[in-house]
């Protein structure tokens, strides 16, 4: 869950699936359930969770933020999402989403985990993005 206050500050609020990962990878136990629409393909298919699968999920989180909480992949069932991702489908850019931000999301959704950015890189790029666009988002009196 993401909490958003009036100043548009976002805070992650649900750590129900959080795990301590000691060797850079967490393998889900057989029969484990997880939220398909937020989960990277390698985690869906092999139960393999890494920091790079978290990057994928972060890209999905960005769509939730830009859409004010809309569920990802609207109108699609979990099996449809899985089949679509296997064919290379990615969510389309919303009209309300700046092209530059969508490009960041697409980087997060690269098929190969090793091709996805690091969180350090994402933090740097998003800080620059915020600085470049903050005047557009100042609250009006």
What does pTM read for this prediction?
Answer: 0.77
Domain boundaries, the chain: 41-132
Residues 46-81 have pLDDT tens digits of 888 888 999 999 999 999 999 988 999 999 999 999
pLDDT per residue as tens digits for the range 83-103: 999 999 999 999 999 999 999
pLDDT confidence of residue 25: 47
The CATH H-level superfamily of 41-132 is Transferase(Phosphotransferase) domain 1 (1.10.510.10)
Residue 133, pLDDT above cutoff 60: yes
Flag whether pLDDT at 33 surpasses 90. Answer: no
Residue of 87, 90, 98, 88 lying closest to 72 (CA atoms)? 90
Phi, psi of 124 (to 5 degrees): -60, -50
User: Distance between CA 63 and CA 57 in Å, rounded?
Assistant: 10
10-12 vs 2-4, strand pairing mode = antiparallel
For 63-121, the DSSP string reads HHHHTTSPPSSTT--HHHHHHHHHTT--PPPPTTS-HHHHHHHHHHT-SSGGGSPPHHH
Confidence of residue 118 (pLDDT cuts 50, 70, 90): very high
Q: Give the other-Cβ count within 10 Å of 58's Cβ.
A: 18
């Amino acid at each position: 869950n993401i909490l958003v206050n009036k100043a548009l500050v976002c805070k992650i609020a649900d750590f129900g699936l959080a795990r301590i990962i000691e060797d850079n990878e967490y393998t889900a136990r057989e029969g484990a359930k997880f939220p398909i629409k937020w989960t990277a393909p390698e985690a869906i298919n092999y139960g393999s969770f890494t920091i790079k699968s978290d990057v994928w999920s972060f890209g999905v989180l960005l769509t939730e933020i830009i859409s004010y909480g809309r569920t990802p992949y609207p109108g699609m069932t979990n099996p449809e999402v899985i089949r679509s991702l296997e064919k290379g489908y990615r969510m389309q850019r919303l009209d309300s989403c700046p092209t530059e931000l969508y490009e960041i999301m697409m980087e997060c959704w690269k098929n190969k985990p090793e091709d996805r950015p690091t969180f350090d890189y994402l933090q740097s790029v998003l800080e620059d993005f915020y600085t470049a666009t903050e005047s557009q988002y100042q609250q009006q009196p």
